[in-house]
Structures are given as C-alpha cells and as structure tokens.
C-alpha cells in the first residue's frame, strides 16, 4: 500500500485535517478542544497524508514564521514513515520560502523522532495541555532548496 502527502490549506481539506487532529490530539491525548483549534490554521500551510484510497492518516502545518506544528499520525499508521514524510515536506517548503530556521514544540515522547531529523532542544521541558513538551529548532541551509520533498510522489508504506 502507498500514501501521498498533499500540500493544502484548511479551505480545501479542512474536514480531513480536522479529523486526523481530533482523533490524535483530542480523542487519544485528551487535549481540550478549545486549545486545538486556533487562528494559525487560516494562515498556515498544511500537509495531509492520504492512503491510495483517499483515507487521511496524518497531517502537519507550517506557520509563516517557520513554526512547524500539529504533526499527527493516526495510531495504527505510526512507525511507517508517514510522520517523516510530512516533516520532510514542511522542511522543504520552509527552505523554499527562504526561512533559515524552523522551530517546533515536540511532545516529549516524540523528541527523539525530531532529533533524528536534525532538530536540537532549545529550552527546558514545559507542559502544554497537560502534556510535557520540548522546544526544538533546526537550521536550514540558505539558497535553493536542498531538502527533498517528494510530496507529489507516492510513498511505500513500511510494514
């Protein structure tokens, strides 16, 4: 089975993006609904990972200031490369926009995932919505994008 990563926005794929985020952040992790939805959704670029049948399984967003957030993959699809494909797409777009650095607030259990992608911690552990987080950052090279985003191509799902 394969999946693809689509660059989108809330106007085009809002219900699918919201469905993944609701399943992961609100239902699974207990984040209060009023904390999940914010004004940043309207001004952010979003990515949606979909299976070949169109079923959404993951998402991410990039704010104009270079903050990556709302990274989520449905539980049954984790560990198969979907999160990394979403992150790579966001990093490639950030670099293409001329950003020299990206930041994110990693849930502590996911910090090693981001470290493997080249992020470093830039603060102490803090709590947000009852979940321990760690602020992380990654420098991006200047110039044309050297990061590969294969968003237009299907990915093979790891078993």
What pTM, to 2 d.p., does this model score?
0.91
pLDDT at 143 over 80: no
Q: How far apart are CA 89 and CA 157, in angstroms?
A: 16
Q: Per-residue pLDDT averaged across 16-39, rounded?
A: 96
pLDDT at 142: 80
With H, G, I as helix, E, B as strand and everything else as coil, classify residue 14.
Answer: helix
Which residues face 136 on adjacent strands? Answer: 104, 121
pLDDT at 133 over 80: yes
DSSP notation for 96-119? HTT-SEEEEEEEGGGHHHHHHTT-
The model's pLDDT over 39-74, given as tens digits with 9 standing for 90+, comes to 999 999 999 999 999 999 999 999 999 999 999 999
pLDDT averaged over every residue in the chain: 92
Q: Per-residue pLDDT averaged across 78-94, rounded?
A: 96
The model's pLDDT over 92-132, given as tens digits with 9 standing for 90+, comes to 999 999 999 999 999 999 999 999 999 999 999 999 999 99
Q: Which residues of 108-125 are buried (b: 16+ CB within 10 A; e: fewer)?
A: eeebebbeeeebeeeeee
pLDDT at 156 over 80: no
With H, G, I as helix, E, B as strand and everything else as coil, classify residue 130.
Answer: coil
pLDDT > 90: percent of the chain: 87
Domain annotation for the chain: domains and CATH numbers = 2-156 (3.40.630.30)
Band (30; pLDDT cuts 50, 70, 90): very high
């Amino acid at each position: 089975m394969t999946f693809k990563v689509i660059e989108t926005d809330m106007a085009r794929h809002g219900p699918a993006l919201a469905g993944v985020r609701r399943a992961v952040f609100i239902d699974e992790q207990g984040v209060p609904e009023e904390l999940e939805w914010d004004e940043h959704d309207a001004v952010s670029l979003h990515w949606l990972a979909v299976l070949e049948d169109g079923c959404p399984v993951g998402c991410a967003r990039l704010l104009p200031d270079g903050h990556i957030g709302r990274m989520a993959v449905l539980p049954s699809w984790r560990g198969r490369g979907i999160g990394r494909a979403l992150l790579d797409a966001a990093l490639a777009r950030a670099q293409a926009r001329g950003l020299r650095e990206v930041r994110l607030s990693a849930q502590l259990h996911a910090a090693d995932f981001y470290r493997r992608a080249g992020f470093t911690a830039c603060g102490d552990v803090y709590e947000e919505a009852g979940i321990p987080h760690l602020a992380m950052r990654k420098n991006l090279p200047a110039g044309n994008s050297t990061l590969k985003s294969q968003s237009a191509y299907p990915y093979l799902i790891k078993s």
